[in-house]
Every structure is written in structure tokens, then in C-alpha cells.
Amino acid sequence: MMMKKWFTAGAAAVLAAALFGLAPSGQALAAAPLADNNFNSTAAGSQPSGFTVSEDGGTVRVAAVPSSANRSIFLNDTSTTALSGLKKGFTSQNGKVEATFKFMQPSLVNNTKVFRFLSGTTAAVSIETIGGSLSYRNPDSTYVTLQSSYAANTWYTIRIIADPATDKADVYVNGVKKASAAAFFTAVSNIDGYESFTPNSSAGSHYLDDILVKPVSSAVPSGALVVSKSGGSGVYTTVQAAIDAVPVNNTANVTIFVKNGTYTEKLNFPANKPNITLIGESAEGTILTYADTASSAGGTSNSSSVYVRGNNFTAENITFRNTAGATAGQAVALYVTGDRASFTNVRILGNQDTLYANGGRHYYRNSYIEGTVDFIFGGATAVFENCEIKSLGNGYVTAASTDQATAYGYVFINSSLTRSGSLDDAVHLGRPWRPYASVHYLYSFMDTHIKPEGWNNWGNAANESTARYAEFGNTGSGSAVSGRVGWSRQLSASQAAAINTQSVLAGSDGWDPAH
């Protein structure tokens, strides 16, 4: 398999100018993270490097939690008069800054400052534990509840998008927006760091992992192929025209930037055009859409609005949509067979068969996927992390067709299964499209629409001896395991600890799209 190759902005500028008749200033790559810490390469028991650490009230050390291969940072406060904490600075940002991280407490403790965006020593945004809830602190020190009755020994993924230009922040927990344009705890003009610390009034501890902080920009990347409905000099008016301009068998990453608008096109990113990054101006405003169905197109595979067949494909801040409607039957919005495909902050909208994740390895992060019947289906190995998976009606979330020799099919981590309206007891977690279907749900929220039995055998009892369905550490009314079918598995803590984005997607080339 061809590995992704990055090269300098100057080289990309020359390539783009020569191939496309444009004069860009250089091929832009994604902005470098301001902080990216997963602690896996740091020895357990040691202090993390690159942080300012306070151990007045206890210790701040790397821990082999959830596992020795997937480590985290443990802030353990044994004092009632002093605190334990860590702080990290980065280049000052006047624009939007996004942070995503995982949090877990072994026992619930109030007044933990889970994560604070800083301007110097001033706390601009503060996520805290109060009254058994994960909460956002308002300027008057009242609180917005982000997650009520959060559970001990359960991982949660929190995402913050903070804008010092407006002193407002959006906050998501396990993929669901819980605070919208919430006022900063303290108004600031810039953000230049973050901190986390335990209470100084009581003993307590917590874990943090996979801390990623990055700038957020809607600017056109330098050197990108630009698509706009309004056209203009050197600008494509259709997305497919920009795809067609990418050289066959390109070894250098090419960025296509799509400005806000609704693009009604049936799009194909072909197998002979790998290494494409597709960026929308905004996830809600940049919409790629079509309305084919299995009936109108001559088969489910032919119905997709967008096809991604090339390896090393990346998409950010964009919507993939099929508008055929709830009664149209099978109608795919996004079909993916390329290997090492990564989707961040995207929306995938449809009804039946919304996402056909059918081959290769895929990573879906901070994204929203909706549908009714089998709306995530196919044979790919895919991780869905910090995503909202919304059922619009009765049906099945997944219909995996995992090959028998493939260790993992679909793995949902720190995500939320939500529902439309008052949908109750109406949706299965999955049914096996092929006998060896593999689906795992870990540390995810499941609402009341999930049926107590959880899983369906697709009318074939033989599938019960081959399908690989497993759960661990989930929360919400739909996560109760007492009524689950006997042929599904409840993992042990050690079994679940071995399953993470890196272990599922690494393959033989060590792919790690999360870092």
C-alpha cells in the first residue's frame, strides 16, 4: 500500500502551478497541533515531559491506564489543603482554539478542575465536576450541566471550541453538543495554554488522555484547489472538476477547499487519485448532496452521493448527504473503500444505508451520522470516536459484513447513540449482514431507543455462533446489559483496555490517525 508522503510548501506550489495553471503560494498541510499528548511513549510512573507540574498535594504521573500500551496521565491528590495539577503553554491564539481530551475519575469528586483554557494565568474556560455532574462554569460561577450523573471508572471525551474574539465556547461530550455559545468564565483576548488540577479542599484524583489542542481556521489553505458556487479566477465551480484536476497516481497530498454552498453532484474520488484532503468552509454550510436510490441507480452500491475509493483520503468540516427521503429505501450518502480514510467534524446524512463503510481502514472523529435502517454498514474496519450516531426511526444502527479473518469491524469509542423525538425501544445496535460481523461499543452513551436485547440475528440463528458483538463501559438507559441476547459479549476491563483507535487501525504500517 502506498504511504502518504508530505513535502514542502514550495515544492507543492511548483507542482500545483505546473499541473493546474494556477499560481498558489504553496500546498498547505493541516495546521500543526498546539498540543498533542497521548502519553503512550512515556514510561509509567514518570512525570510527563513538556508540562509544568505541581505535586504539592500528591502526584502527577503517567499511568498504565487503560493499559500498558494505552497510557494516560493520573493526577492523584491525597491532601485536603494543597492540589496536584499540570499546565501546558502554547503559542498565543487570537482566533478559535479547539481542545479534545478524554477524562475519567476512579471515584466522583467535586470541584475538580478537569480542563481550563488559559490566557496567562487567567482561566478563560473551565470544565469542572460539581454535584455529581460534569459542568461548564459561567462568568457568575453558576454552571451549565454538560453530563449529569457521570459515572466513576468511565471514560468521557470532551471537546471544546473556544473563541476569544467573542468570549464564547461550544462544548461537546461524547459527540453531543451540550453547551452552545456559552460565555467564557473570564473574558480574554487570547488563549495560550491549558491546565488541569485536583481540589485543594479535599482529596481526589482523575485521569486525562489523548489531549489534542489545535487552532481552528476557515481560511482557504495556501495552494489549495478552491471550489465556489460563485466561481472566480482560478476557482472551480463544481467539486468534481477539482477532483478531475488532481493528477492520476499523485504521491503528494492535494487539498481541495470547498466554500459554503450546496453542491448537487454525484462525486467520485477514484482509486487512482490517492492523497486528497477535502476541507469545507464549515460543516453545516458546505453540503455535498445527491438523491439516488438503489432503485433509481440500479443497486445500493450505485446509489451513493459521494464515493471515496482512493487511499489516504481526509475530509474535514463538510456534509455528505443523500436526500432521497425516508421512504426511498436504500440510498447511500457516502461510500468508502479507500484505505486510511479519515473524517473529522463531518456530517453524514440520510435514512436507510447512509454510510457504506465497505473496505479499508477508516477513522471518524467528532462527527455526526444519522439514519434509520442499517445506516452504518459494510466490511471496513472503522473507529467512530466522539461521534453522535442518531437514529431517525425504527431500525438497526449497524449491518457489518466483516471478513472472518479481520479482527475488527466497527468500533465505537466515547460516542453517543441518540434518537429522534420520543423514539423508544425501537432500534437494535446491529445485525450481521455477513456471518462474521464485528461491532464493539465502548464507553458510549445509549438512549432509550436501544432495544434491551441489543442485537438481532437477521432471521438466521446460525449467525449467533459467528457474529462478534461486544460492549463495555457504556452508559444511558439503552446500555443495560441484563436483557442482552446471550450470544453477544460483555468484555472484561482488561479486554476493553486493549481496544483503542491505535490498536484497531494500526495494521502493518502503524497508521495512527488520532495522532
Q: For residue 123, what are the contacts with CB-CB under 8 A and spacing of at least 6?
A: 113, 116, 117, 185, 186, 195
Number of Cβ atoms within 10 Å of the Cβ of 180: 11
In the set 77, 163, 210, 353, the catalytic residue is: 353
- The whole-angstrom distance between residue 224's C-alpha and the CA centroid of its chain comes to 24
Q: Which residues contact 386 (CB under 8 A, 6 or more apart)?
A: 100, 157, 159, 172, 174, 175, 365, 366, 413, 414, 415
Residue 398 three-state SS: strand
Place of cell 467573542: 166
CA atoms within 13 A on the CB side of 172: 24
Distance CA 403, CA 380 (A): 9
| CA 201 to mean position of chain CA atoms | 35
How far is Cα 160 from Cα 356, in angstroms, rounded to an integer?
Answer: 29
Contact status, residue 178 vs residue 171, Cβ threshold 8 Å: yes
Question: Percent helix, strand, coil in the chain (nearest 5)?
Answer: 10, 45, 45
C-beta contacts of 19-24 below 8 A and 24+ residues apart = 19/245, 19/247, 20/225, 20/245, 21/234, 22/225, 22/234, 23/234, 24/222, 24/223, 24/224
Q: Is 353 among the residues known to form the active site?
A: yes
Cβ atoms within 10 Å of 309's Cβ, excluding its own: 19
Active-site choice (192, 292, 374, 447):
374
Residue 167 in contact with residue 191, Cβ under 8 Å? no
Helix (H) or strand (E) holding 239: helix 239-245
Residue 374 known to be catalytic: yes
Strands 168-173 and 176-183: antiparallel
* Cell matching residue 85: 495539577
Give dist(CA 18, CA 280) in Å, integer: 25
Question: What is the DSSP code (8-state) at residue 450?
Answer: B
The residues that are catalytic are 353, 374
